[in-house]
Amino acid sequence: MNRQKNKATASKRRGSGDSHLIARLDAAAGRLNRIRQARDPNEPPLVERALQAAAEVEKQLMAQSARIAYLETLSMTDELTGLLNRRGFEDSFRRALISAGRYGDEGVLIACDLDDFKSINDRFGHVAGDEVLRQVGWLLKTHTRETDFVARLGGDEFAVILIQTGWRNGLKRAQTLSRALNRLVVKMNDATIAVSASIGVEHFGPDDNDAGTLIARADMAMYVNKRRRAAITLVRAAE
């Protein structure tokens, strides 16, 4: 637990440091632009060389700023699927709750977990398992809006944040996602892999500010649905 706290603290410090550096780089670029606009066309060669050197420094600073932004993006992105990772999800959900409180918006959180994913890895191999995860991520992304947030939290756990969405509409969209996921078939080499997934849905509004509680409720709803699906499967097998 202490390791996680230390890691989170280090990440916050690193993020704060990056933001300060980017602000300083932007300020330096602004000063260089003002100097360039105010220059006299009859300036002597020495000043011209100084401006050229300053322009080169500006170019390097901009490249470093872009590199920092790229690394920040990587730190919030799941490498396998290209979706948000857990850190990116938590940051996005925090901002969604702040926005909901400020503007009186509603939203829906969807927790998603693949059923019996271990058996896919055991039977078809981890390469096939990775392909299933990629296609699940692609499906979730293509069935949501650009303004929504889709994340892979780790393993076979995914989450979707539907912003500016009422409960009824959010529930319909969650059901659509569930149907699409449970119709997904992944073909790899000679293997045909049918995907099965369970979801849980939780509504949030302007008065909700505890992300942890909302996530726990969505997870609980998802596990209830998973147990029901397992029970139905057992009954059908017994028949």
Q: Does residue 207 have an active-site annotation?
A: no
State both tokens at 133.
Answer: 């995860």
CA distance 61 to 34: 16
DSSP state of 205: -
- Catalytic entry in 78, 113, 115, 156: 156
Residue 12: Cβ-neighbour burial (10 angstroms; 0-12, 13-18, 19+): exposed
CA 103 to chain CA centroid, nearest Å: 22
CB 200 within 8 A of CB 224: yes
Measured torsion, CA atoms of residues 110, 115, 117, 118, in degrees rounded to the nearest 10: 130
Residues facing residue 111 across a β-bridge: 159, 200
Could you give the residue numbers annotated as active site?
A: 156
